[in-house]
A and B are shown apart, each in its own frame.
Chain A
Amino acid sequence: ETGVTQSPTHLIKTRGQQVTLRCSSQSGHNTVSWYQQALGQGPQFIFQYYREEENGRGNFPPRFSGLQFPNYSSELNVNALELDDSALYLCASSSGPVDDYGYTFGSGTRLTVV
């Protein structure tokens, strides 16, 4: 059983709307990252937070934003949804440097934009 919980598990939104996805990490996991996984593709890095500050960002537009909170929870916000935003969104956390510890992943939120 994973220690990372994501909500909701599935979501349907209309193009142009805004969405907030949530993630609850394990206690002590100061690093959290969000990934987008399109159907049949590998996960693409969106951004990473360490102790509530963004410390890395992938090739995603500013309408993708995030927050990390002191209680090890985090959010991914997407504004002005587009059809291509339909994907599985994965939250991943780590208790230390990711290149030493690896990630613990949540089961993801399946977002469908219609």
Chain B
Amino acid sequence: AQSVTQLDSHVSVSEGTPVLLRCNYSSSYSPSLFWYVQHPNKGLQLLLKYTSAATLVKGINGFEAEFKKSETSFHLTKPSAHMSDAAEYFCVVSESGGSYIPTFGRGTSLIVHP
């Protein structure tokens, strides 16, 4: 079985400061991991994905995430927040060799202050 836990429901940062959104996962198989972003009244957009290649994954808009198997984590980071980054972020796990059905976390709301 697979599951994903986003450790923070809300994260608040100032513009220009680093962003850290935390995600832990559980999977019986080799996981594929994703981060999606959802702006208000919009659908979800894929930020980045890990599919057993490099453990440090670079995505769009300056975001990156590091897969740490020993910690079962896939935290999302960005060196410098921009006002346009304010949105809901979802961590997603999908089991290669398992059900292939992605499981979404509950989401982290990123708030960016001027």
Contact = CB atoms under 8 A, between A and B. Distances in A.
Contacts of A99: 32, 51, 94-96, 100, 102
Chain B interface residue bracket vs A: 20 to 34
Contact of A100 (B42, B51, B90): B51
Contacts of A43: 44, 90, 104
A48 B94 CA distance: 14
A105 B45 contact: yes
Contacts of A106: 43
B46 A103 contact: yes
Contacts of B99: 56
Q: Is the interface of B mostly helix, strand, loop or mixed?
A: strand
B77 interface: no
Contacts of B44: 43, 90, 92, 103, 105
A58 B102 CA distance: 11
Contacts of A90: 43-44
B17 to A, nearest CB: 26
Given A99-B51, A108-B43, A41 B95 contact: no
Contacts of B95: 99
Contact of B94 (A42, A44, A98, A107): A98
Interface string B25-58: 0000000101010000111111001010000000
Interface of B: 32, 34, 36, 41-46, 49, 51, 90, 94-96, 99-107
